[in-house]
Amino acid sequence: DSNYSDMQPSFRKQNFGMTLNTPLGIDTGLVSSYQQQHSKIPLQHLDNSDDQLRKQEVFFSKLEHYFANNLNVSLTALYTPTSGDYFSRDFKESDYTLKSRNYSLSGKVDKQFSHCQLNVTLAYSRQKITREAPTDRFLWSPTTATIDWESGRTGGSGDLKTGQEQFNLKSAVSFNPFNWKQTSHEFKLGGEATHSRQYYRRPETSFYYYSARTTGPVTCLPNDTACIENEQYLTRRTQYSKADTDANITDFAAFIQDSIVWKQLEIVPGVRVSYDDFSKNTNVAPRLATSLDVFGDRTTTLFAGLNRYYSGTLLTHALYEDIEIINQVRADNNSDWEDAASRPISFRYETGNLKTPYSDELTLGIIQKVLGGELKLQYIKKKNKDEFARSRISDPARVQPDTYLINNLGRSEYESYLLSWQRSWTDHFLEINATWQETTTSHDNYTDTLDADDTEETVWYNGEELQYYEIPRDDFNRPTIANLIYTCTLPHGITFTNTTKYRGGYWRLWNTRERRPSETNPDQSPDPYVYKKVKNNSSTTFDWRFSCRIPGHFKQDLVLSLDLFNVFDHKEKVGYQTGNYGYDYELGRQLWAGLTLDF
């Protein structure tokens, strides 16, 4: 057994569902569906094997009605509950439960007028996530009698509730095409307004105790949970304070575009303007897409695009301003806890005056009819600017808490080349595609979890002591991916699909399990891990799918399916597990059988 869920070769997964398409009249229809997926994953947990459980359900319903005057109204509802039972890998008594509830309800109106078509959508969505876990964590020394497991770790990170709800109103008008001189035009304009609220609830203060002392007489004070009588006590702790905070944001956007056709050339210029009441930024995003049918017969088509996209609202970051994390220390087991002088006293996030992050995207390509199929070559270049990063302002006198400021100093770039060719015959389809891609970044904006479980621990990488999120990742790419997809229709109504996947080698982080004493915090216990960069091997796998439709009586069809993943059970080493646990391998052969009844 593995101790990582994504590396466990033995697991059980079940899924099933049903869909009902119910006519309620000539102009009214109701579609309802239910899906459930359940998995059971045995994992190593300390010296035993325990099961982690996952369950997800999807309830979907859509009611649609067509009126006589070119009016179409639909109502859609979706409910997705998920739950899972977990445990922390090296922690005893660390069982915790995660639950998520996602709701959405939307209504849409489509109206065809004589000169245009109007679309209006009103939607509401809500997400609730809860964690039920032991309140405190402890990192004991495993050298005393009571602590009889190797890691010495026990407990959890405390209960937590987070969530978000959103109201959205969106409208668009598409005008009928009209001619002006030698050009044809088709205008489209629209707008939307969204109000979002996000919340964070930690019902009680949680502590992470560490830095054990086993020397000298140990006499525990009453109710001291960080002390074991006559054995050891813990001298440092990180306090995750009780919190109840909300953040709200309302944003507005409007757009207009025109599809202009002149001979074989089509040009689609447009612009989108957005504003939100939190950052109070007005953002103007120009858009431009072009295509040229070179010979007028679709044998050769050139296309290009130059677009700007704004993203990255501050809604989540706003929650950090009221979340407090305090590091404390005590001299011995009879002393009071005091704020640490050698570590940041607390973490506070202040947003200040910020620009909205944006991405400028360039797309170039050609589509060519060749060998009875379609050849496509595409190049994409993205430059992401004003991305959110953070800097820390410290008070040398330790009078004020350290402050983390969100800034716009982040930059990143993405570049990719895509080459594909596909062709369809009467009973056959073939596609070959390959992608090379690379991402570089000036920072690592790996978003910390709201409970910031690991802010008290540093790591060593390339001879430097860093926070984990500070490790440079600009060369951790998976540059080359290729696929071959072939589908054919066999006798007796059987359809066969082969998917051959090639994944090129890539670099990733590896925890060597070696430890080295901390220089920034000599009291840190245990010592920080040493990380290094390792190369993962390339791999090639074959996936097959068979499906067969069996007609029945009264318009009932039975569909049988069989999926084989990694058909040849290719054992390809793709990386290294932590420490001396061996290697990571491609997931072995999987077999999935399915049955669907259509009626």
Q: How do residues 248-296 score in pLDDT, each as one tens digit?
A: 889 999 999 999 999 999 999 999 999 988 888 899 999 999 999 999 9
Over range 5-34, report the average pLDDT. Answer: 80
Helix ranges (H only) for 161-236 are: none
Q: Look at residue 573 in the predicted model and tell me its pLDDT.
A: 60
Report residue 470: phi and psi, to 5°.
-90, -5
Q: Look at residue 300 in the predicted model and tell me its pLDDT.
A: 96
pLDDT band with cut points at 50, 70 and 90 for residue 360: very high
Helix ranges (H only) for 389-520 are: none
Give dist(CA 405, CA 351) in Å, integer. 6
- Any idea what the Cα angle at residue 433 is, between residues 430 and 436, rounded to 5°? 175
8 Å CB contact between 15 and 52: no
Of 375-384, 385-394, 570-579, minimum mean pLDDT range: 570-579
From residue 346, alpha-carbon distances to 7, 73, 152, 284, 359 in Å are 36, 53, 27, 37, 33
Over range 450-455, report the average pLDDT. Answer: 37
DSSP symbol at 115: S
| Long-range CB contacts for residues 7-16, cutoff 8 Å, separation at least 24 | 7/577, 7/584, 8/41, 8/42, 8/43, 9/585, 9/587, 9/588, 10/42, 11/39, 11/40, 11/41, 11/42, 12/39, 12/40, 12/41, 13/37, 13/38, 13/39, 13/40, 14/38, 14/39
**Does pTM surpass 0.75?**
yes
- pLDDT, tens only, 94-147: 999 999 999 999 999 999 999 999 999 999 999 999 999 999 999 999 889 999
Q: Look at residue 545 in the predicted model and tell me its pLDDT.
A: 95
Over range 538-567, report the average pLDDT. Answer: 84
8 Å CB contact between 500 and 484: yes
Mean pLDDT over the full length of the chain: 84
Q: Look at residue 15 in the predicted model and tell me its pLDDT.
A: 82
First CA to last CA distance, the chain: 43
Residue closest to 131 by CA, chosen among 75, 206, 74, 192: 206
Give dist(CA 383, CA 308) in Å, integer. 10
Over range 538-562, report the average pLDDT. Answer: 83
Kindly report the number of other CB atoms within 10 A of residue 314's CB atom. Answer: 21
Report residue 6: phi and psi, to 5°.
-80, 0
Q: Look at residue 343 in the predicted model and tell me its pLDDT.
A: 47
Give dist(CA 354, CA 585) in Å, integer. 44
* CB contact set of 19 (below 8 Å; sequence gap of 6+): 31, 32, 33
8 Å CB contact between 186 and 259: yes
Give dist(CA 243, CA 249) in Å, integer. 20
pLDDT band with cut points at 50, 70 and 90 for residue 595: confident
Kindly report the number of other CB atoms within 10 A of residue 267's CB atom. Answer: 15
pLDDT band with cut points at 50, 70 and 90 for residue 593: confident
Q: Look at residue 476 in the predicted model and tell me its pLDDT.
A: 56
R_g over Cα of the chain: 29
Q: Look at residue 578 in the predicted model and tell me its pLDDT.
A: 46
Residue closest to 202 by CA, chosen among 103, 322, 83, 121: 322
Does the pLDDT of residue 460 top 90, yes or no? Answer: no
- pLDDT, tens only, 152-211: 899 999 999 999 999 999 999 999 999 999 999 999 999 999 999 999 999 999 999 988
Does the pLDDT of residue 468 top 80, yes or no? Answer: no
384 or 558, which is more confident? 384
8 Å CB contact between 443 and 464: no
Give dist(CA 251, CA 278) in Å, integer. 8
Per-range mean pLDDT, top range of 194-203, 350-359, 432-441: 194-203
From residue 9, alpha-carbon distances to 46, 362, 450 in Å are 19, 41, 31
Share of the chain above pLDDT 90, in %: 49
Q: Look at residue 354 in the predicted model and tell me its pLDDT.
A: 79
8 Å CB contact between 225 and 208: no
Amino acid type, 77? A
